[in-house]
Chain A
Amino acid sequence: MREELLAIIEKNSRIGLNELAVLLGVEEAAVLSELETLEKEGIICGYHTLIDWDKTSIEKVTGLIEVRVTPQRGQGFDSVAERIYNYPEVRATYLISGGYDLLVVLEEKSLRDISNFVTYKLSTLDGVLSTATHFVLKKYKYNGTILAKKQEDEREMFTP
């Protein structure tokens, strides 16, 4: 049940307990206790909402910043990463294999805010060797959801 439960709520976290029980073919109590366990184990980390901000009047700019850093003895990349991800404007931080070390996703109100963050906060951190900033121009698909277009049911009537 665990995997199927996660698959459902990953797509729809607002789904009610009784509906979950119906879809999974189990009792409500079982769903509830499994959800609590998943939360306790830190497997479910939050119930967020996917918002396409571009369709609102609120300005948001997303930057992807490649960061090369010097690993610290005994800590590897973790301590530098921590100093970066603690900033609330940082939406995501990944350790990446290949040409650079950390990928930092930043969400700000304007290009200048991102530029300020990179110039004054990120690149001045101890251990940060260099940065390369990319701005997101358009989001086509995010978290498995296609933002670009709404799909319609185009199936035609036919005789079975």
Chain B
Amino acid sequence: MTKELSNKVLAIKPSGIRKFFDLVSEMKDVISLGVGEPDFDTPWHIRDEGIYALEKGRTFYTSNSGLKSLRQEICNYIKKTQNVEYNPDNEVIVTVGGSEAIDIGIRALVNDGDEVIIPQPSYVSYEPCAILANAKPVIINLKAENEFRLKPEELLNAITDKTKILILPFPNNPTGSIMDRADLEAIAKIIIEKDIYVMSDEIYSELSYKEKHVSIASLAGMKERTILINGFSKAYAMTGWRLGYACAPKEIIKQMTKIHQFAIMCAPTTSQYAAVEALKNGDDDVAMMRQEYNQRRRFLLNAFKEMNIPCFEPFGAFYVFPCIKEFGMTSEEFATRFLQEEKVAAVPGTAFGDSGEGHLRISYAYSLENLKKAMERMKRFVERLREEKR
């Protein structure tokens, strides 16, 4: 074929850490701190419910927006945790992971040239999704001194007449940063005043280690302009089941459902039956996993403190984001040398935006044993670097 492919797609850079991971896969005995998914298996009772659905022959499509019983459980869950009421009939859609909800949510809202504000460092798919929808991504570079929270003045500076959506990715991947109620109230005030939408990606909401997660949708005047995105991957260790959801005003869900029904049809049925069980009887599992993540989080923070590597205390997700600026290398150089010399894979902060420069994303979705080994190697590496500099 000689006809060229889509220019829009051709212009999208492949994810920045692809190259790095290719390097990892060539090496042996690497301790990885790079994966962004839980190390726990999906709790057995949830898996069992999936198996049971298969045994019962529940292998049909579900309705486009998802099983009614699942939508009902999702609404119960949001009501219980955030005291926000959504109507299961027309204000919820079950998607293939939170990532599909991000894609169709943006597509349902923007016209050509509309601006989508994306605070970074953050998950890598917001920017390409905005571009593919013919919107213009506007990046806010979050600052380490603010613990990578979004500040109202930063938001104000980014807003123009064309601004359509603010993406709000908290608890944050890769920084572990959270936004508490006061932080969100300051943001909500501006959002309402400037009349824009918020896409709140709350996929890590259950992994909050300070107080309970607060959704911006629960603040006065915000539900009507918010797409709340969540899912089962992180809370219930269900990444491979590919199941997420979005809650939003019915006018928005209606448009999202159109895209979803033509592109996807419906989310996987087996996963949906398993997810009903997760929401009904999974609270104890979440609490158990949260407790273990929290112990690992404390372990890592202590390890960095002992190594004298600055790292703000992150209260969400399962990442810490230490600062490695003192070594005078870029994040990528540091990560590559760390991998080659000590066989530990950690993702350079720049994979999540330019403002991640000088940082590493360390995932603690690994056993404590693994983390201990990795930190021993890190200590050795850091000491050697400091020796070299002297």
Contacts and interface: CB of A to CB of B under 8 A. Distances in A.
Contact of A159 (B21, B39, B173, B368): B21
A137 interface: no
Interface string A1-35: 00010011000000000010011110000000000
A153 interface: yes
B123 interface: yes
A99 interface: no
Given A153-B39, A155-B37, A160 B295 contact: no
Interface residues of B, number: 25
A50 interface: no
Contacts of B368: 23
B36 interface: yes
B310 to A, nearest CB: 18
A157 interface: yes
Nearest to B38: A155
Contacts of B32: 157
B35 A157 contact: yes
Interface string A148-160: 0000010101111
A10 to B, nearest CB: 13
Interface of B: 15, 17-18, 21, 24-25, 32, 34-37, 39, 123-124, 173-174, 291, 295, 298-299, 302, 347, 351-352, 368
11 contacts: A7-B291, A22-B299, A25-B298, A155-B35, A155-B39, A157-B34, A158-B21, A159-B18, A160-B36, A160-B124, A160-B173
3 smallest beta-carbon distances between A and B, as pairs:
A159-B15, A23-B295, A22-B302
Given A155-B35, A155-B37, 12 more contacts: A8-B295, A22-B299, A23-B299, A24-B298, A153-B39, A157-B34, A159-B17, A160-B17, A160-B36, A160-B124, A160-B173, A160-B351
